Structures are given as structure tokens and as C-alpha cells.
Structure 1
Amino acid sequence: MSITVKTGFSIYCGAPGRCKKQGNVKGECPPGRHGRNCVEFCRMNCKGCNRFTGVCEFGCNPGWKGTFCENECDSRTYGEDCGLSCGTCLNLEQCHHINGTCFKGCDRGFQGDKCTKECDNDRYGPECNMTCGNCSNAEQCNHVNGSCPKGCDFGVKGDKCDQGQLK
């Protein structure tokens, strides 16, 4: 007969009165270990696991989720508890699950390693490599399509205020 005691060890009784303790004598596994005789290791993405089941009851390292911290952040999230949203990565792809960088660059109108900053300095479009037209009052054009929100300067026309010459 064998009984598992809550403190992390088993008692095996081959015959009445002849019981012996098996497993961890102190009743607790050292940090990072779990299971019978503490032979199992907690997952490396786990901040600390239950000494009996291995469940990551103290949470996961940044970029990981799941009962055993076995899954990378997804659904366009990253970081601690997958609580941060990815920027505007190219084709709205998943960013790096730990630090949020975009693997293939940014979608139109965004810049930076996390693609969280809109194009500026009279730039727009893919990789912010297109130049804005002559928007009224020297305003920044739309960071994605280059249109001028408040119209064109005098003497220019077109959706992007890039047709005609100033006179």
C-alpha cells in the first residue's frame, strides 16, 4: 500500500508496521524542481512552479503564457503576461514575443523597431520613404497615404498636393 502525503513524499507500507518514507525527506522540492522525488524540472520559461504538479503558479517569464509557460505570446501581443500590444508590423504580423520588435519591418506609415511611431518630417508610406506634397500651413500629410488633411498650399492641387507649381 502506498499513500502520497501533501508534503511531497510517499509512504510505502509493504506490511503493517513496516512503512518507509520515499521521496524528499524535508517535504519540499528545491526551487526549479517538482514531482515525485523532485526529479522533474520546472519549464525554463516559468517563474516558479508548484512542487507537486509543475504548474507555473508564479507566472511566466515575459513573452510566454500557458499553464506550464509552454506557449509564446500571440494574437499580436508580447512581453510580461502577454500584456503589451504589437505595433503596426508589416502585414500586421506577430511581433517578437518577448521584446515587441517587428521581424520584417513596418506597415505603411509607421517606423521604428517596434513600428509604433507614425511617419513624420514630411514623410509617408512604406518605410516612410515618400515625401509629402505642399500641405496648407506646412502641415504633416497623412502618414499612410500622403493626403493633406486641411488641403493644399496656394497654387498646388491634387489629393497629395503635389500637382502644379507655386506662382
Structure 2
Amino acid sequence: MQLPDAEQLIATLAEAMRPQVSPDTALVGIHTGGVWLAQRLHALLGLSQPLGSIDVSFYRDDYAAKGLHPRPQGSKLPFDVEGTPVIIVDDVLYTGRTTRAALNELFDYGRPARVDLAVLVDRGGRELPIHPRFCALTLTEPLPSDQNLQLERDEAGALSLRLIHA
């Protein structure tokens, strides 16, 4: 499978979001790839709200089976969630379980005015009724469950997509 250029997808996603965001919109990236993507989008969109991040490790419904991620990052929401329009940002949407966990944690901080989801790639294979409002690329054929699509960042900060066979 030929992977698209992540940097071009980021520009496409930002342009799709631009007409729908206001300066008071808050972006919240899901660790780790979603945070990298949210950092880029925040800069491209010129948002005034500080950037937030969520580590969903303790909110996953498979926590008992998988245990804690080896390097939990902690969550940081440096703005008042109450009444704020929020866009949760993740790199790759798969089953929807990570997004559900992010929603659960976000609502522990308050009740946003609205919550949207922005993803770089929708790989298919949903297990929950979750759909992104903003998406740069939807794969026409879902990836097999033994393959993962990951956003990676090099030392210079450039982002790329990588297909990993489990």
C-alpha cells in the first residue's frame, strides 16, 4: 500500500477545518500522534485557546486486558472546558474506542459547548458509532486487523505515516 504524504494531509485537514472553527475553539490532541497533529493544526488555524492533550490510558474499556501504557503522558486541559467548542484530534481512527475514552475524560473536566472529531486518516473497522467531522483521508478498503497505521515524528519534527504489520 502506497502511503500518502502526511504533511500534505495535514494541510488538507486544516483547510477543511478552517471555515468551521472560531478563535475560541479548543483543540485537544490524543497522545501521542493526535497531540503532534493538534500542534500543527493549532498553528495553521491560528487559534487563541491554548492547546490541550489527553492520555486515555485510564479511560480505555480494555484497560483490564491491556494494562497501563508503558509511558503514560497525563492529560492537560489549560482552558475552561465548560461552554467551549472542542475538537478532539487523533491521527488514525480505527475502532472508535480511543475516541470514546477521550470523550469520557473530556467530560470529567466540564461540559463543552460542542465536541467534534478531527482525524488525519479513517482506516475503517469501526466497533462504535463514532464518525469524524473532519478527516483528511478515508481509506476505501479497511486495513486488516493485523496492520496498524501510525503517525511518526522524526527528530526534525516532520510527520509521516507508517504501516506496521503486527
| Structure number having the greater helix percentage | 2
| Structure number having the greater strand percentage | 2
The structure that has the greater radius of gyration is 1
Higher RCO (CA-CA < 8 Å; seq separation 6+): 2
Fold shared, TM-score > 0.5 on shorter chain: no
TM-score, length-scaled by structure 1: 0.19
